[in-house]
């Protein structure tokens, strides 16, 4: 049985998120894009409304919402600003391996920390997912970070790169080799307190888009981590944990691409009804109206792929193929829609005085982070050929 | 203190309204619904009263079963329990006031805070009619509200400025948009709202005849306005105002 309606609860979550994005995120979006200032104030308000860490299970003090609800919320946040939205959603990515694979004690301590209370300075605890390195992004098995067992502790050394919330997180999920010779079976996932001695956080990276988001390199120099912080207590389980987390988080990232595209489409549609050329609003030139039709169609198609992949995950079913469908399609779609929105605006679209050039800059990352568009196709082709 | 507030399920005012081809109403297919925005001010004020004086907030809606969502939204904001008087009919303000009067007689709240008007029908009548049926004092278009010793001091928005009025409780207060800033329904609040009690009644349970006194004959779209003109300078503007619009 297929049903496409949201439940009353989901509609209420959506409304809160939509109002919050409209009233709080969007008005602040330009400021954070221009200054690159981290949106602590917005994150604090979002935390108070329960918009952060929505998937933390109820037994650890969270709301225990599903991936589908997370997607509904993330589309709205991203409609407001994907830079601010990414700072929020990075917690969902960092917590995903814990929720799926952590021990009871680990969940109590580290998931509880995020939802229980604010920090002494009144801001929420953030978390970060540390897998990518300067020399290894898509090729996760190419990471060089090592964790050497030393009695009751592990000592981690290595460098991570482009870590969202890198300087703002209270703890990290870190992937490192405990046994280099064992291939992917030698990778282990750790939970690392951000204030551990030996951690050095780099300067804020200045990126093309999503400037509100904090992205940094993090170096680990002989960082001591207690053995009880091996995720799930399972040495050698890191690969499955890091990859498994994507089944939960990829639909959320894809839904953010949908939110960005929706914003671009709405701007383009409104402008096309105002701006006249050759005696009529440009929306009534068929070349432009067809662009708008394609935008609307592809946004809706992406949203359905996102919802299906999230729904499957919430049913406890494997969604690797569908999550890759959603992520690849939504990312490519968002880049195209944002580019076309700039096109509809013409010369104004290229100007920073108008809202669409930011969306164009912000959109590109969706084809890169959380698995590039190429890696998604690797995953999809592997899945469909296995089904043959 | 027992506070009663009301919520109406209305079509989303941000959406474009279209008239049905048979002119019996507006098109509702594919239309989003939400809580009437003035009712959000009423609910918020009810919560503030409870925060200041303690007590209980009862939220009431007269409408279709789907209006459960608007009641739950008010509960997610902070109302304690709900009453839905279920009807699929499109009631006029007088019928709604007759229904609400019966609910209020049963509940006997200390104060009723409601929106000044619904953004769909725009009538701005229910609160006033309700006050007359109950023989309660009323203070409409409230921008401020203070309650002490069984009296409410209400700052009111009136033409040309503001006016202050004191009414003895119980009274009907209708909220204007400057009264407060409605809070968001938090996600934990939305989850908790599911467990709050919600009673469903029908007008006949309350013994109320809901026959409308006002019958709408037909709906028509407003006359389309002629396309405007963007003028080059002030002189052309004055010329157009004098010779075309003939207002100067």
- Structure confidence at residue B227 (pLDDT): 81
Q: What is the domain class of A8-116 according to CATH?
A: mainly alpha
pLDDT, one tens digit per residue, over A26-50 is 999 999 999 999 999 999 999 999 9
Collect all residues of chain A within an 8 Å Cβ-Cβ radius of residue B72.
8, 12
What is the CATH number assigned to the segment(s) A239-387?
1.20.140.10
The answer, for A50 touching chain B at a CB cutoff of 8 Å, is: yes
A357 catalytic, yes or no? no
Cα–Cα distance for residue pair A148/A177, rounded to 1 Å? 8
CA distance A242 to chain B (A): 28
Among candidate residues A206, A311, A262, the one with its CA nearest the CA of residue A79? A262
Tokens representing A308?
Answer: 């299906």
pLDDT, one tens digit per residue, over B9-61 is 999 988 888 999 999 989 988 898 999 999 999 999 999 999 999 999 999 99
**Helical packing angle, A286-314 and A67-80, nearest 10°:** 150
> Which residues lie below 8 Å from residue A64, measured CB to CB, with a gap of 6+?
A55, A56, A57, A58
CA distance A294 to chain B (A): 21
pLDDT, one tens digit per residue, over A308-347 is 999 999 999 999 999 999 999 999 999 999 999 999 999 9
What residues pair up with B10 in beta bridges, in sequence order? B34
Residue A2 has pLDDT above 80, yes or no: no
Indicate which of B184, B188, B229 best probes the interface with A, i.e. most A CBs within 10 Å of its own CB.
B184
- Structure confidence at residue A1 (pLDDT): 52
Peptide bond connecting B170 to the previous residue in cis, omega within 30 degrees of 0: yes
Cα–Cα distance for residue pair A258/A338, rounded to 1 Å? 11
User: What topology does CATH give the domain A127-235?
Assistant: Butyryl-CoA Dehydrogenase, subunit A; domain 2 (2.40.110)
Segment 215-244 of chain B within 8 Å of chain A by CB: none
- Structure confidence at residue B15 (pLDDT): 86
The answer to whether the Cβ–Cβ distance between B184 and A13 falls below 8 Å is no
pLDDT, one tens digit per residue, over A107-163 is 999 999 999 999 999 999 999 999 999 999 998 999 999 999 999 999 999 999 999
The answer to whether the Cβ–Cβ distance between A16 and B185 falls below 8 Å is yes
| Average predicted confidence (pLDDT) for chain A | 96
Tokens representing A52?
Answer: 């952060």
Task: Give residue limits of the domains in chain B.
Answer: 2-244
Q: What is the pTM of this model?
A: 0.92
What is the CATH number assigned to the segment(s) B2-244?
3.40.50.620
- b/e map A223-241, b = 16+ CB within 10 Å: bebeeebbbbeebbbbbbb
Transcribe B175-217 into DSSP letters: E-TTS--PPP--HHHHHHHTTS-EEEE-TTTTT-----SS---
Interface predicted TM-score of the whole assembly (ipTM), two decimals: 0.91
Transcribe A318-338 into DSSP letters: --HHHHHHHHHHHHHHHHHHH
Collect all residues of chain B within an 8 Å Cβ-Cβ radius of residue A15.
34, 73, 185
Task: Using a pLDDT cut of 90, give the percent of chain A over it.
Answer: 98
- Structure confidence at residue A309 (pLDDT): 97
The answer to whether the Cβ–Cβ distance between B188 and A50 falls below 8 Å is yes
pLDDT, one tens digit per residue, over A6-18 is 999 999 999 999 9
Task: Give residue limits of the domains in chain A.
Answer: 8-116, 127-235, 239-387
Among candidate residues A382, A15, A369, the one with its CA nearest the CA of residue B14? A15
Q: Do domains A127-235 and A239-387 have the same CATH topology?
A: no
pLDDT, one tens digit per residue, over A241-262 is 999 999 999 999 999 999 999 9
Radius of gyration of chain A (CA): 21
The answer, for B158 touching chain A at a CB cutoff of 8 Å, is: no
pLDDT, one tens digit per residue, over B75-104 is 999 999 999 999 999 999 999 999 999 999
In the structure, what pLDDT confidence band is assigned to residue B233 with cuts at 50, 70 and 90?
A: very high
User: Exactly one of A133, A317, A370, A383 is catalytic; which is it?
Assistant: A370
């Amino acid at each position: 049985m297929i049903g496409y309606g949201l439940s009353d609860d989901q509609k209420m979550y959506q409304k809160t998120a939509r109002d919050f994005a409209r009233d709080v995120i969007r008005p602040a979006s330009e400021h954070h894009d221009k200054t690159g200032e981290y949106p602590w104030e917005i994150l604090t308000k979002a935390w108070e409304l329960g918009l952060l860490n929505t998937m933390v299970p109820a037994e650890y003090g969270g709301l225990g919402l599903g991936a589908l609800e997370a997607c509904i919320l993330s589309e709205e946040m991203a409609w407001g600003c994907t830079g601010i939205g990414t700072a929020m959603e990075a917690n969902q990515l960092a917590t995903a391996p814990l929720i799926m694979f952590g021990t009871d004690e680990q969940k109590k301590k580290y998931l509880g920390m995020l939802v229980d209370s604010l920090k002494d300075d009144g801001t929420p605890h953030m978390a970060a997912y540390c897998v990518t390195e300067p020399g290894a992004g898509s090729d996760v098995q190419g990471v060089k970070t090592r964790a050497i067992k030393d009695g009751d502790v592990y000592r981690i050394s290595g460098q991570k790169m482009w870590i969202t919330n890198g300087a703002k997180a209270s703890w990290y999920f870190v992937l490192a080799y405990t046994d280099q010779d064992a291939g992917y079976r030698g990778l282990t996932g750790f939970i690392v307190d951000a204030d551990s001695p030996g951690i050095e956080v780099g300067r804020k990276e200045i990126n093309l888009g999503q400037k509100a988001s904090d992205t940094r390199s993090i170096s680990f120099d002989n960082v001591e981590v207690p053995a009880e912080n091996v995720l799930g207590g399972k040495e050698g389980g890191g690969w499955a944990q890091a990859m498994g987390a994507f089944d939960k988080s990829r639909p959320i990232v894809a839904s953010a691409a949908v939110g960005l595209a929706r914003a671009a489409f709405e701007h383009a549609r409104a402008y096309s009804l105002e701006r006249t050329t050759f005696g009529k609003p440009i929306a009534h030139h068929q070349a432009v109206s067809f662009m708008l039709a394609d935008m609307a169609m592809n946004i809706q198609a992406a949203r359905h792929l996102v919802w299906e992949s999230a729904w499957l995950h919430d049913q406890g079913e494997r969604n690797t193929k569908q999550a890759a469908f959603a992520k690849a399609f939504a990312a490519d779609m968002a880049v195209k829609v944002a580019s076309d929105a700039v096109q509809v605006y013409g010369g104004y679209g290229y100007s920073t005085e108008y809202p669409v050039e930011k969306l164009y800059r912000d959109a590109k990352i969706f084809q890169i982070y959380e698995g590039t568009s190429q890696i998604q196709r690797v995953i999809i082709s592997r899945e469909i050929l296995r089904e043959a | 203190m027992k506070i009663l507030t009301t919520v109406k399920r209305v079509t989303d005012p941000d959406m474009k309204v279209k008239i049905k081809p048979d002119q019996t109403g507006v098109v509702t297919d594919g239309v989003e619904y939400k809580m009437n925005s003035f009712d959000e001010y009423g609910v918020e004020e009810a919560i503030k009263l409870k925060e200041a004086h303690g007590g209980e907030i009862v939220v009431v809606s007269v409408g279709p079963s789907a209006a459960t969502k608007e009641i739950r939204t008010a509960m997610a904001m902070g109302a304690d329990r709900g009453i839905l008087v279920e009807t699929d009919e499109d009631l006029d303000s007088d019928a709604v006031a007759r229904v609400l009067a019966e609910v209020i007689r049963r509940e006997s709240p200390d104060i009723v805070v409601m929106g000044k008007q619904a953004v769909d029908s725009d009538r701005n009548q229910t609160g006033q009619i309700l006050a007359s049926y109950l023989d309660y004092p009323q203070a409409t278009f409230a921008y401020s509200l203070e309650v002490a010793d069984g009296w409410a001091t209400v700052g009111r928005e009136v033409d040309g400025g503001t006016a202050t009025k004191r009414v003895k409780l119980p009274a009907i207060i209708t909220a204007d948009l400057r009264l407060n800033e409605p809070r968001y329904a938090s996600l934990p609040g939305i989850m908790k709202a599911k467990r709050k009690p919600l009673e469903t009644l029908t007008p006949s349970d309350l013994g109320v005849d809901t026959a409308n006194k006002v019958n709408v004959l037909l709906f028509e779209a407003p006359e389309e306005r002629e396309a405007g003109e963007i003028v080059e300078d002030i002189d052309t503007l004055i010329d157009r105002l004098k010779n075309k619009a003939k207002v100067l």
